[in-house]
Structure 1
Amino acid sequence: MRFNVFKNTVLLFVLVMISCANLSKSEAKTKNTEVTKKDEILKQVQDDSSIVVGANQIEKYLPLLKDKRVGVVANQSSLIEKQIASSLEASRNNKYTHLVDSLLSLKVNISIVLSPEHGFRGTADAGEKVKDGIDSKTGLPIVSLYGDNKKPKLEQIKETKKYESDINKGIMQIDVMVFDLQDVGARFYTYISTLHYVMEACAEANIPLIILDRPNPNGHYIDGPILEMEHTSFVGMHPIPVVHGMTIGEYAKMINGEKWLKNNVQCALTVIPVKHYTHNTNYNLPIKPSPNLPNDKAINLYPSLCFFEGTNVSIGRGTNKQFQVVGSPYYYLKRHTYEFTPEPNEGAKHPKHQDKACHGYDLSNEKSLNSLNLKWLIEFYKANKQYAPNEKFFNAFFTKLAGTKKLQQQIEAGLNEYEIKATWKEGLETFKQTREKYLIYE
């Protein structure tokens, strides 16, 4: 009897200990889950705030706008990140606000908004002429820098007189200009050409320019032929390679320092740098910078695929994979397993090869590029020559994009990618030395 009691007591003790152990494990598991979740949340917050764009550092530039009449160069990419919500379940859909809306809410006196290619709301086709107008949300006058003039006119920004137009009959005078556009780091992406003309106009009118800097998503490499000055155009204004590896702020410093503005004038320039950024920092854009660059993959492929704009090959305008697919209706090869048919859509009202089946590649799953890829261009040229010799492959726009006639000549002569790139080496080394003087970031 006494043994049975002892045995039962021991058994009860063991069961209690097991129960406690299980409870401890359960509590520990719950606690670890909570810690992990908290760490994930903290990590997410840290990730979100690791890069702080110039526009989000309001405390640095707001004093420069106080009691000033302000002009703003902006488009749909000119966003400010709102403060991270205290609620962990807060939606991320309403995370951003537009720079112009933010400045107006802070009682900044904005006199005029100037918009680049694609317009203030970013819906116009590439190359489409954009008209002046009135912003329906704010009532502000919008002056297009991709319409009748690509450079701000003196009467639009400085002279104290009536600026007569359909959009406004008031004084259009400013004391300071703010520039906030999301560039993608390619010479033929026209926002840096707009930057040139805005700087030139500000210098001539003695108006200071504040650049709210943003990361360059293709800032991790430098590549391509150097533009030859006899081939300057709005898709290439300066003697730089196709991929320059600089932010807008750094590039503005180079324009000033190299005296590329007309008559060697220089702009009074202030750059609000990006926090926690290096040229090798991966940066995911919160919104597409133009209608046909819908995601990070398209942006990464853009410098390599844009050459096709000067050929008879489509790069997916008129599809939902712009700058991620490449194809032609003129020939079909077994290895060209992908097919797409361009149709009118936002940003491509009349796409190349509209309603025609194009055969080629889907590149949306390609590894990220760290250099220009010429292999696709060379392959399509050879296929066109073999299977559609009566179809002209290159057009006049190709030389403007390349910034030189040599690239087309090299491809037609049968040089491979490595042989062509070898001819760029000297020019790239010289550019890198020049670039070094204007860098803000490592």
Structure 2
Amino acid sequence: MAIAAIPIFIIGAEILLLYDLLLIMRLAIKYSKFNFIMRFNVFKNTVLLFVLVLISCASKVKKENDFIKPEHELKEVIVGANQTEAYLPLLKGKSVGIVANQTSVIFNDKGYTHLVDSLLSEGVVIKKVFSPEHGFRGKADAGEHVEDGFDKKTNLPIVSLHGKNRKPKPEHLEGLDIVVFDIQDVGVRFYTYISTLHNVMEACAEANIPMIIFDRPNPNGHYIDGPTLKIENQSFLGMHTIPLVHGMTIGEYAKMINGENWLVDVLQCVITVIPVKNYTHNTSYSLPIRPSPNLPNDKSIELYPSLGLFEGTNINAGRGTEFQFQRYGAPFLDKETMSFTYTPIANFGSKYPKHQNELCYGEDLKNENLYGEMTLKWVIKAYQNSTDKSKFFNTANFTKHAGTDKLQQQIVNGLSEAEIKATWQEGIEAFKKIREKYLIYD
């Protein structure tokens, strides 16, 4: 209230000044020999002065209001990994395993340092690194088999959780006192880092090893949308009955896994979450490091929940270009309707993209704005403009991504987006009630 009153005080003072000037000018006119001319000049100058005063007042009001911002926007978001004072005492004297990838960093004045390097410099005894899909350094293709090995920089042994094992074996955890989990997620059910989280929690619960989870913001954490997975469609692309966009951070999701008894034999994993500071689910957050090879920027992350469904079709979603998940196309889409063209080629993160070296017809979406929802309009449009609909769906894979076999049938039957999304609402509302119990942030 005090800040808001400042512009009003300034306006009042300047109006009083204007009144004094007018009074002086009236006296000057009264005793002037050039009464008529003076009246005209005073009138002209008074109008000009009044306009200038109004401009000045408006300028001051704008300057003052520029400083009135929500409190959470005035403070820097501090990720869990940066809060060393909260977790280094918990790691002291322990043999530590770390689940990490290229996003597992501590930010500093020089940019950032990888978490593993930082902890080693602090004297933390790291015995083993566990790597998710795309590998420890984040260079493997989506779905690509990742082998065990050694990190060239630290010579630490790396156990792949996206190769012959998706879940750590008991021998992988032997000798460990505690496991740290620190991976940047994007809040989409078929983005497999939350499946890795489940598997690691389950393995740690079975071995009676506690976990520390370093939380990070969810760039799609401001909304919940999409079909809810049906348990019969459970896979590594979706392990739990949640909507496609769940609106939770890794830390919140870990609490839900425990709280909803989703681990085998109703086991509970002992977890400690190091929460993000100065963060709410409505805080805008731009990822400084791509979370996987084919999510290069904020736009791709924003469109990923919608365009990710193309992974279960024969449509290319920008892989093999520099605009992954910002365009889509295929050789068999109607070239009259789909006038945008591009040719996917092998590149970083996509060694064998769909329709490699073939001219694809589709849409360029890099300038689309889609905030707070996922959409089916592009999947529906692509299907409707497919010249050979028998080539469109990879049914088993599409069902895994959608979490339900109904969505494909709804699209084939010609239901509108609004009609389809209406069928999601019951599941979304039920999930929101469950989600509420595990939220760490507003």
TM-score by length of 2: 0.83
Aligned residue-pair number: 375
- Would you say 1:199 and 2:225 are equivalent positions? no
**Map of 1:66-105 to 2, 5 A cutoff?**
66-82=92-108, 84=109, 94-105=110-121
Q: Identify the residue that residue 117 of structure 1 maps to in structure 2.
A: 133
- Structure 2 residue aligned with 1:143, among 159, 176, 194? 159
Is 2:337–2:385's contact at 8 Å kept on the other side of the alignment? Answer: no
Change (3 A) 1:389 1:250: closer
Query: What is the one-letter code of the residue matched to 1:247?
Result: T
Separation in structure 2 between the aligned mates of residue 222 and residue 156 of structure 1, nearest angstrom = 36
The answer for the alignment partner of 1:441 in structure 2 is 441
Q: For the residues of structure 2 that align with 1:246 and 1:181, how far apart are their CA atoms?
A: 14
Map of 1:61 onto structure 2: 87
Aligned 8 A contact 2:383 2:389 in 1: no
Q: Is the 8 A contact 1:224 1:372 kept in 2?
A: yes
- Percent sequence identity over aligned pairs: 64
- Residue 353 of structure 2 corresponds to 351
Structure 2 unpaired stretches of 5+ = 1-62
CA distance in 1 between counterparts of 2:236 and 2:321 reads 26
SS at match of 1:360: strand
Q: 1:389 to 1:110 in 2, by over 3 A?
A: closer
The answer on 1:219 being equivalent to 2:235 is no
Q: Secondary structure at the match of 1:225?
A: strand
Q: Equivalents in 2 of 1:229, 1:195: separation in Å?
A: 18
* Counterparts of 1:142 and 1:202, CA distance in 2: 17
Deviation at 1:390, TM superposition (A): 4.9
What residue in structure 1 maps to residue 399 of structure 2?
Answer: 399
CA distance, structure 2, for counterparts of residue 47 and residue 95 of structure 1: 21
CA contact (8 A) 1:253 1:438 kept: yes
Measured in 1, the distance between the counterparts of 2:206 and 2:147 equals 24
Unaligned runs of 5+ in 1: 1-35, 85-93, 159-172
How far off is 1:49 after superposition? 6.0
CA-atom RMSD, angstroms?
1.7
Aligned residue number for residue 190 of structure 1:
192
Aligned residue among 278, 292, 295 for 1:293: 295
Deviation at 1:48, TM superposition (A): 9.8
Shift of 1:392: 4.2
* Stretches of 4+ aligned residues off by more than 4 angstroms: 46-49
**How do 1:149-188 residues align onto structure 2 when only pairs under 5 Å count?**
149-158=165-174, 173-188=175-190
Please say if residues 333 and 362 of structure 2, whose CA atoms lie closer than 8 Å, have aligned partners that are also in contact. Answer: no
CA distance in 2, matches of 1:49, 1:75: 27
Distance, in Å, in 2 between the alignment partners of 1:390 and 1:289 is 34
The more displaced of 184-193 and 357-366 is 357-366
Q: TM-score, normalised by structure 1?
A: 0.83
Structure number with greater Rg is: 2
Q: How far apart in 2 are the matches of 1:47 and 1:433?
A: 28
Give the drift of 1:333. Answer: 3.4
User: Retained in 1: the 8 A contact 2:383–2:392?
Assistant: no
Describe the superposition over 1:211-237 as per-residue Cα deviations: whole angstroms up to 9, x where unpaired. 000000000100011100000000000
Residue 164 of structure 1 is matched in structure 2 by none
Specify the alignment match of 1:248 in structure 2. Answer: 250
Shift, 1:312, TM fit: 1.2
